[in-house]
Structure formats: structure tokens, C-alpha cells
Amino acid sequence: MNEELNDFLRQLREEYREKTFFIEQNLGAEVHWFFTQAVQALKSQLYLPACTSFLIGIEASLRVTMHQIHSRSRVKSLHPRRILSNRLLKDALSSGLPIETLSFPEETDFLDKLEKKSVNVEIVRVRHNLCHGNILEYINDDLGEENAFFTPECCRGLALSLYQISESWAAQLGAFRRTLS
């Protein structure tokens, strides 16, 4: 009985942590809800909404934080052309933001890619493709070209990677934002 109770309490703590993690990172409501909703979508196996919400959360957190670095007033609008890009990431790096946490695990050349105009870092490339409806790289052709197919489950691995990146990013960005206060 004691073991069962401990398991139940452990599960409750984990659920609470999942629900509150992004809220507790000092990102602001205009940002943390993208991440919170992404986690909810992921838990519901809604992989496309999870991916896009994680990406939008990353982009929003960058844009809002960069604005707040230059102006301490409440953000009322963001520059329409300052979207997630290598240029924005380079500017964020110059401002001291921990952007290296946005690299994918296998992306060892993240900082080198930032210097190139012709090659986007992976987070930017994925954002541009997915948020513009280009899912072609996620089509499953394991059964042969004539049986190629796409279902949202084809993006499950991407959603899990974006979750890990987002957690690390939010924690480090939150610590950075606390130094601004």
C-alpha cells in the first residue's frame, strides 16, 4: 500500500511540474502559454500543434526578451520583420542570451551556421518549414516510395526534441531574464 501511495504522489508531483514549469520560468504570460499549450498538445498526442507551439514559444520568447533588453516598458508590439532567424539569434547572442540551448542534440556546428547567410541553424530551418506547412521531410517512406505516407505521428520525434530544447531554453532564458530586473 505504501509503495502504491508513493507512486501516486510521484505521479502527482510530475504532473504538477509539467503544468507549472514554464509558468515558473519568468517568461511572462505572453510567452509561457505557448509552451504550456505545447506540452498539453504533446500529452494528447497532437504532434503538429505541439511542434508549432514549441516553435512559436521559442520565437516569442526571443522577440519579447530582445525588445525588453532595449526598452524596459511593457511590450505592446513587436517588429513584424524581427522573426526567428539566424540574424535574430546572432543579435540575441550579442546581448548575452543563452541561444546555444536552442541547438538540436546532433547540431554541433550551431554557432558556425549563425555566421553563414546561406545556411540556417536547425531551429530556424524547422520553424520556417513547419510553420509554412512544409512537412515533406517527415513523410515516412519505410515501406517504399509507392507506399510513402504522412501522419502527424511522423513528427513525434521532432515534438519530443522540441520539448527538451524548450525546457532547457526556458530555464536558461528565465535565469537570464531575472538578471534584467
pLDDT score recorded for residue 14: 86
Which domain, by its residues, includes 69?
Answer: 2-180
pLDDT score recorded for residue 133: 92
Tally the domains of the chain. Answer: 1
Q: What is the pLDDT of residues 123-169, one digit of tens each?
A: 999 999 999 999 999 999 999 999 999 999 999 999 999 999 999 99
Residues of the chain with pLDDT under 70: 1, 181
- The pTM score is 0.91
pLDDT score recorded for residue 1: 62
What is 126-174 written as a DSSP string? HHHHHHTT--GGG-B-TT-GGG-B--GGGGHHHHHHHHHHHHHHHHHHH
